[in-house]
Copies of this chain bind each other. A is one copy, B any other.
């Protein structure tokens, strides 16, 4: 089986951890370089004892340097860096001939003005924006296969965009009536030394945050607008719940088309999708069925009292919402089977 040499840049957070975990077990990925400024000199298994015994877990973190990364022979680089920082590495690694899969927000938005509105700073690499492909494989498999630069989608967006797209495309729901509440496990908030993320602050706690304008709205609305053929503005409220992983998203919107078409639209869109599992009418997606997988589960229902369609989705925020999806793009761009190294139950 042919394989590809991989570098992971900035791999000491929860997304980086899951990315490394999946890559260490991927039969067609060879991890040749991992960087972490804070952990340079440590091996993967020192930082993440869970990896002990994995072939490749003796690899040592190095300080990030584009030349050294390129010299490692890496063909593809995954960036698990903060936004703003990622753009810089993307630029220099692309220059050195690597293909880049960026898990940050830096290349997800087509419009630099929207980036500045939501991220509070001018876009750091406007020239690359046009080239970057928003890497949602269910809708851009073709572009992903040819891309040099993938902007892998955010965790919330994946769980919200996928159920909505088929309905918006067919004009079945009113694009201006969308309301979403999402609940995320705590790993979504990052691996940061911060009091609000301590066990005793999150356990036995449920709370909304980042209201009313979470940054992920920018990419969600971009993709929904493309599908609807009009500018979509929606309501989105994220919540933190005491689980390690998993996002549950509940979305509703006014039905304006034929109810009988709703289930069909979802089936047509996703019957051949490797990682979308349709639960049908009345199916309530449960995060415990998707954690540690690349699946997104989607159920739906119709509330005849309010005339609203309900979309009930669940994914692993670190899997399909981050690391898994990035590897799915990697498989596609490498010509591998889309499920290579990603099929877990």
Contacts and interface: CB of A to CB of B under 8 A. Distances in A.
Interface of A: 14, 21, 24-25, 49-54, 57, 179, 181, 183, 185-187, 191-195, 197-209, 211-213, 217, 233-235, 237, 239, 241-246, 248, 250, 252, 277, 279, 282, 284-293, 295, 297, 301-303, 305-306, 308, 310, 312, 314, 343-345
Given A181-B250, A211-B282, A291-B204, A306 B233 contact: yes
Nearest to A24: B345
B52 A211 contact: no
Contact of A211 (B183, B284, B289, B291): B284
Contacts of A217: 305
A242 B239 contact: no
Nearest to A52: B277
6 contacts: A50-B288, A52-B297, A185-B206, A197-B199, A206-B246, A207-B287
Contact of A292 (B14, B199, B200, B292): B292
Given A213-B305, A289-B50, A206 B241 contact: yes
Contact of A50 (B24, B185, B234, B345): B345
A239 B198 contact: no
